[in-house]
Amino acid sequence: MKAKAAGFHIPSLDGLRAVSFLIVFVAHAGLGDVVPGGFGVTVFFFLSGYLITTLMRLEQEEHGRISLKQFYLRRALRILPPFYLVLGAATLLAMVGGVAGGVTAPAVTAQAMHYANYYIVSHGHDGMADGTGVYWSLAVEEHFYLVFPLAYIALRRWVRGTGTQAAILYGLCAVVLGWRIFLIDHLHVAMDRTYVASDTRVDSILFGCALAVHNNPMIDGPSRIPRAVWTWAITPVATMVLLFTFLDRDPAFRETFRYTLQGLALTPIFIAVIRHPEWLPFRPLNSRIASFIGVLSYSLYLVHQVILGVLHAHLHVPPLVQGIVGLALSVGVAWLIYRLVEKPCAVLRKRLSRVDLKASQAAATETR
């Protein structure tokens, strides 16, 4: 699906999706010690919060309300068909020996019912099909989007001014940071607790939501800050902050302040890449290849580690060759899922949305 809002293409977002996936893929392909794969997930979280909140904001401003029915319907048709398809295929592969390890009913149930992240906190990855560990991040998103639309509707109803609304969201990010610090410094929890749990990672999504609410580069008009300042001052400083979060290896920092600093640094970077897609460093994000990978990014994220697991178990070649073959196979499988599952579901979403809109208009006419 293209990154669009109100019918307009949002520059660079498909490219950011592509970069996020490639970071995750390279880490899982064997370079996890030098490539920060977890950062790719953080970018996915930020992007998801930004795009979905932008769409809700536009819906509210254009139609006077946000349809929760339509929100959850769109979310289900977008996420669940590929989700269960890949989970089922990976589970079958594990049961017949196609990938290493086995599966257990409690682990697969946790993935299917969207609490895989808390299962991992308690039991680790035991019982999950090899390659389906990424399902923890989808659980975080599902938990968040179960409650956030209601919270956003309440926020718009009771709080005037997008600046104040954004401040409240940033305040919630600070609360999550404080909770992580408490867990690490006082309860001495393991890394999995802070890395995968919804209550400790939700701020990565909230930072994107806050950007969508106030000073949204797509819908809030031109910035008062000159282009040169964004491209030659703000973006480089934000990039250096990100580099610092990669280089500081202190465990306490990595499980507390790292996610907060990354969310803060991603905010100006997102503004810059959306407002100034023509700037030379950002042009690759808007290339046809980046767009193609970005469109397939969800299915790629679901299938890539399963495919790498199959290759690791059965293709005894150097890791570089496995990675190249794995990327090619992942793109091929993801393209099939996109064509056969995601696109038909997208068409169905549009049809159902039109039906719902007509019904709403008819009801409004009858009550006038």
pLDDT at 360 over 60: no
User: How high does pLDDT run on average in the chain?
Assistant: 91
Every domain of the chain and the residues it spans: 4-362
Q: Which of 322, 289, 200, 361 is nearest to 15 (CA)?
A: 289
- Which pair of structure tokens corresponds to residue 196? 């995968």
pLDDT for residue 352: 67
> Mean pLDDT, to the nearest integer, of 14-19?
96
pLDDT for residue 367: 31
Label the pairing between strands 8-9 and 4-5. Answer: antiparallel
The predicted model scores a pTM of: 0.93
**Sign of the CA dihedral with 131 first, then 136, 139, and 140 last:** negative
pLDDT at 229 over 80: yes
pLDDT at 324 over 50: yes
pLDDT at 359 over 50: no
Q: At 22, phi and psi to the nearest 5?
A: -65, -35
